[in-house]
């Protein structure tokens, strides 16, 4: 019998975990018929509310449900990594707890796996219910990203994705600390089927992403999957050298023809301001890469587990008894 792992990262989702469970259970007939067992793994990403408690209640009712609790909030990327690491399924699917990833798509997704695809991903074709300015910047980000990075990053792609064990292992092999999952999925390759659906608004609670957080996240994505900004810095350096050289020639010629090398103090100040601005900007780019490298070489764990409930935890305790 095959096993399908459903991985659900949760951060302050006490209102949603039960709804998610109920909704998922409504859509499991298909898998029962196919003789595929289910494992539901909630990853509690250091929630400050009663998420863990709610999940524990579900665990007590249903042996297929497991919980991994982090010692603090490590971010969704870390939760995804932990989920993939802890899951035991022959297939794994990543889903949000807020029901923005409709479980009703699962049978269709699985049918593509049966057809031989390695992974089935979803993208939303509309951004209904999202602030206009956010959609605009999101579009800009994807366009820029695909220009400057060789890894394909699909606009509107969600993390809702069904994968075979082979793909899961490939993703786990990328043990980098700065995890930009959307890029990692693209990077590992494999044959991916894209399903499109209309955006569904989150059931309860609020999104964890502020505009500022999204902005920083997009920078992280660019730095993790492209070195183009570094090239831009060098190109700018060359451009300014050429410009300076032209200005030197201009000044010399002016001195020879009109004998006035000192005029133009205001323009001089402007030039100094601008050039030092560009220098700081380029230094900043360098700093970004350096800081990411610094975090990477420290080799800190991606997440820390506080508590584990469910099958895997039981295995471990049994091992201790022996
Ligand atoms: N999430 C998480 N850790 C975080 C932030 C979010 O595990 O630090 C989870 C969250 O509980 C949800 C999913 O990631 O299940 C997506 O979050 P959200 O709905 O806030 O993002 P959006 O759908 O608005 O992109
Ligand atoms: Mg959401």
CA–CA separation, 56 and 67 (whole Å)? 7
pLDDT tens-digit readout, 19-78:
899 988 888 888 878 888 889 999 999 899 889 888 988 988 888 899 999 999 998 899
Contact 116, 37 (CB under 8 A): no
**Position 293 pLDDT exceeds 80:** yes
CA–CA separation, 77 and 178 (whole Å)? 9
**Token pair belonging to 75:** 């971010």
Ligand 1 lined by 134 (C-beta under 6 Å):
no
Q: Is 155 or 52 the better-scoring residue by pLDDT? A: 52
**Position 264 pLDDT exceeds 80:** no
Question: Helix 211-225 and helix 181-188: axis angle, to 10°?
Answer: 30
CA distances (Å), origin 231, targets 148, 255, 314 = 10, 36, 52
**Token pair belonging to 32:** 């029962």
Q: Whose CA is nearest to atom 18 of ligand 1?
A: 207
pLDDT at 322: 42
Q: How confident is the model at residue 321 (pLDDT cuts 50, 70, 90)?
A: very low
Alpha helices (H) along the chain: 17-25, 29-33, 51-61, 76-86, 106-114, 132-148, 165-173, 181-188, 211-225, 228-258, 265-298, 311-321
Using DSSP's 3-state secondary structure scheme, residue 4 falls into strand
Q: Whose CA is nearest to atom 8 of ligand 1?
A: 75
| Spatial CA neighbour of 180 closest among 212, 220, 139, 123 | 220
Q: Which of 2-16, 142-156, 199-213 has the highest mean pLDDT?
A: 2-16
pLDDT tens-digit readout, 193-250:
888 887 777 777 777 777 888 888 888 888 888 888 888 888 888 888 888 888 888 8
Ligand 1 lined by 46 (C-beta under 6 Å):
no
Partners of 117 in beta bridges: none
Ligand 1 lined by 10 (C-beta under 6 Å):
yes
Ligand 1 lined by 101 (C-beta under 6 Å):
no
Atom of ligand 1 nearest to the CA of 43: 7
pLDDT at 312: 60
**Position 320 pLDDT exceeds 70:** no
Ligand 1 centre to CA of 200 (Å) is 14
Hey, how many other C-beta atoms are within 10 angstroms of the C-beta on 1?
7
Spatial neighbors of 181 by CB under 8 A, at least 6 apart, are 76, 77, 80, 159
pLDDT at 262: 67
pLDDT at 70: 93
Ligand 1 lined by 210 (C-beta under 6 Å):
no
Ligand 1 lined by 84 (C-beta under 6 Å):
no
**Position 319 pLDDT exceeds 50:** no
């Amino acid at each position: 019998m095959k096993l399908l792992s459903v991985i659900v990262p949760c951060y302050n989702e006490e209102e949603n975990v039960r709804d998610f469970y109920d909704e998922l259970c409504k859509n499991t007939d298909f898998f029962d018929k196919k003789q595929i067992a289910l494992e539901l793994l909630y990853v509690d990403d250091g929630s400050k509310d009663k998420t863990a408690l709610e999940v524990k209640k579900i665990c007590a009712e249903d042996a297929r449900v497991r919980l991994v609790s982090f010692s603090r909030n490590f971010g969704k990327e870390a939760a995804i990594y932990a989920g993939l690491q802890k899951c035991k399924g022959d297939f794994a699917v990543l889903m949000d707890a807020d029901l923005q990833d409709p479980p009703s798509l699962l049978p269709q997704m699985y049918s593509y796996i049966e057809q031989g695809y390695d992974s089935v991903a979803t993208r939303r074709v509309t951004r209904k219910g999202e602030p206009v300015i956010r959609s605009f910047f999101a579009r800009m980000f994807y366009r820029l990203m695909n220009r400057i990075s060789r890894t394909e990053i699909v606009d509107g792609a969600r993390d809702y994705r069904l994968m075979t064990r082979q793909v899961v292992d490939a993703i786990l092999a990328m043990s980098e600390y700065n995890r930009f999952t959307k890029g990692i999925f693209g990077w590992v390759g494999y044959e991916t089927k894209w399903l499109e659906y209309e955006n569904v608004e989150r059931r309860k609670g609020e999104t964890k992403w502020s505009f500022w957080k999204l902005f920083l996240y997009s920078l992280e994505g660019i730095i993790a999957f492209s070195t183009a900004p570094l090239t831009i810095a060098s190109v700018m350096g060359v451009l300014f050298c050429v410009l300076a050289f032209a200005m030197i020639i201009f000044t010399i010629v002016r001195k020879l023809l009109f004998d006035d090398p000192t005029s133009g103090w205001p323009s001089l100040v402007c030039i100094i301001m601008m050039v030092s601005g560009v220098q700081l900007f380029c230094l900043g780019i360098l700093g970004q890469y350096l800081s990411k490298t610094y975090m990477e070489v420290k080799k800190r764990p991606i997440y820390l587990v506080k508590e584990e409930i469910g099958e895997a935890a039981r295995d471990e305790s049994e091992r201790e008894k022996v």
